[in-house]
A and B are shown apart, each in its own frame.
Chain A
Amino acid sequence: MSGAGPKGPRLGLGLSEDVDLLRFEQQAREAEAAPGPAPATPGEWIRQNLFSGPVNALLTLASGTFVLFVAYQILSFVFVSAQWEVVQVGMRGYMIGGFPVDEAWRVWASAYLVIVLAGLSYGVSARRLRPSAGQAAVGAVIVAVAGAIVFFTAQTALVRALTAGVAPAVFAGALVGRLLGRKILKPLVVAWVLVFPAIMIVVRGFDGVPPSEWEGFFFNIIAATVGIVASFPLGLLLALGRRSELPAVRVASVGFIELFRGVPLVAWLIFSKFVVDLVLPPQMVIPDIVKAFVAMTFFSAAYVGEIVRGGLQGVPAGQYEAARALGLSTTRMMALIVLPQALRSTIPAMISHFISLFKDTSLFVAIEVTDLLAAARRSASSLQYFGRDMETLLFAGLIFWAVAFSMSRWSQRLEVRLGVGRR
């Protein structure tokens, strides 16, 4: 599918040519959709695609051997030589680190809140977007892997039950969402807006757990959420500020972006911990983690601002003119006409950035936060399990990957729903 695609009428010169172009793209899409002449047998398919000439055959043999070798090495490690006990013992540490065990229900409650909401949302959208067989297969594999991990690692019956309950919760949510359909769309949006404050209350309220004790994967999730939710609106403002007619606003936006983008995130995190106190009056104490969250938000907002700016540049001048000619105020023009088009085209870049921000929450190790990755490494340096880094890192990597992959799939559904590249 073409990246930019036709955005309805274009500006400019040969508009009749543009119409032809639209037609051409439509034909191209149809050609893409239609499968070519299907090969008669699997043997035929292999001959056509893998051994169509001497060079191709050689390449197929070489790469095939390499892939098989790597796969054999990995599988033999995972199923034969690995000792997964280290992961089993360290599981709680990976998930919540030093979070007080007696308060762990707060994390479970938060997790279930998100899980049920996700299920509901999936159910509502699945009405119009059925997953294909391939998607369903990928989903089934992930569920099977997750189930196996739960089965082999859970240390108490309660944890086993709660983890196993995730799947039914998602399923029930999806079913309810599917039954109710778009009727609950607005309440769902409100619920998603309120879910983060709700989690903060569940975790911190009623003699809860202070941020300094948030650790493990729970920390990664919270930090990424804070970073994404806070940096998106700030980045939007930076992008608009960069295009402002007021020179002061423009200079300030550019300065902010260049400053925060130009220094590594790790450096900002450390600065936030040690340097901010130098400029603040001594009686003013801000928790380290809050300062670091602010630093991460600013860092991310600089990127979001540039991504949005790119999207804004893709909106043709004619769109502004049409909106103005209708008498829309500048605010309405931006909110109703320009930003929806600009943001839609930035979804791939934006999600990429947010995935990378999610993974970068591991960098909080620089200010002594034990996140999932740090917990994994630590558990492999204990006396009993010394040297079991492969197991712990593989597991941590799998968790990070699963979340990043989910974000990516979600963004693809969003693109389909919003018709990116089609209109």
Chain B
Amino acid sequence: MADRSATAGIEKAGDDRMIVADDVVKSFGHFQALKGVSMALNKAETVVIVGPSGSGKSTFIRTINRLERHDAGRIFVDGIELTDDIRNIAQIRSEIGMVFQSFNLFPHLTVLQNIGLAPRNVRRWPKKKAEEKVMQLLERVGIPEQAHKYPAELSGGQQQRVAIARALAMEPKIMLFDEPTSALDPEMIKEVLDVIEELAESGMTMIVVSHEIGFARHVADRVMLFDDGLLIEEAPPNRFFDDPQHERTKRFLSQIL
């Protein structure tokens, strides 16, 4: 499990690791959500994190783009350490796209504006360039005809695909998915997973928190089990699902399979 040498040599050029977490700790009041998580994620790799609710998996990916500030340990994103410096945080956030369980689209803006907002205001792209990018992304997620609608006019699956396009609009190097299909009706899950899978195949570096076992088996390079604030086991999907090493993993799998 914990790779103690995770951060060694991270500052060196040519390192292939996009995310390195070393003994990351996070508490909310008296509740310790993360009790020392270490992991590394290579470029173009897709990791699926599973685990019971309250196991710290969401908290962990939220510390990677500073939606939660970690209390101890170190996090490196593309060779840059995450510190309290605002400029540093802004830079790291612009390299990471995030997709939320509840979509969090901006309800007062159209689909076009939702996706184009960050490129226009953070990357300072001219309007035309941003709109071209938006349409290209909407094609990619399969809903170009919805560009001028408001989020409330779309189905859940369509909303989540817009949210993915919005995250991609910043041309991030890393994508984080926090239970992207948990809020969806069953018949809409596939259309969202298909988009995520296509993204994984295109070489995006991704962490996906998900309970979709079929998806994890199919798309993940590695699967991780979080429990009680700790990374319990990590392995390629075949070994993880068919031959888990830890008692805790076996128990978890028996509950959800």
Contacts and interface: CB of A to CB of B under 8 A. Distances in A.
A344 B107 CA distance: 11
B98 to A, nearest CB: 4
B90 A326 contact: no
Interface residues of B, number: 37
A340 interface: yes
A6 B103 CA distance: 14
A325 B185 CA distance: 25
A423 B67 contact: no
Interface of B: 65-67, 90, 93-94, 96-98, 100-108, 117-118, 121-122, 150-153, 155-156, 159, 163, 166-167, 170, 182-185
Given A318-B104, A326-B170, A9 B185 contact: no
A189 to B, nearest CB: 18
B192 to A, nearest CB: 13
Interface residues of A, number: 34
Given A321-B104, A323-B106, A332-B121, 10 more contacts: A9-B104, A16-B185, A326-B117, A326-B118, A326-B122, A326-B167, A327-B122, A328-B118, A340-B108, A344-B108
B113 to A, nearest CB: 9
Interface string A1-21: 000001111111001101100
Contact of A328 (B67, B121, B151, B183): B121
Given A19-B156, A341-B108, A9 B103 contact: yes
Contact of B107 (A8, A11, A325, A326): A8
A13 to B, nearest CB: 9
Interface of A: 6-12, 15-16, 18-19, 22, 316, 318-319, 321-329, 332, 336-337, 340-341, 344, 418-419, 422-423
Nearest to B117: A336
12 contacts: A9-B151, A9-B156, A15-B101, A15-B102, A16-B185, A325-B96, A325-B98, A326-B122, A327-B93, A336-B121, A422-B152, A423-B152
Nearest to A318: B104
Interface of A (DSSP majority class): helix
Q: Which of A9, A15, A19, A423 has most B Cβ within 10 Å?
A: A9
Contacts of B65: 325
Given A326-B117, A327-B94, A423-B150, A319 B104 contact: yes
Contact of A16 (B90, B118, B184): B184
Q: Which of B96, B104, B159 has most A Cβ within 10 Å?
A: B104
A329 B121 CA distance: 9
B121 A8 contact: no
A8 B90 contact: no
A341 B105 CA distance: 12
Contacts of B150: 8, 419, 423
A9 B67 contact: no
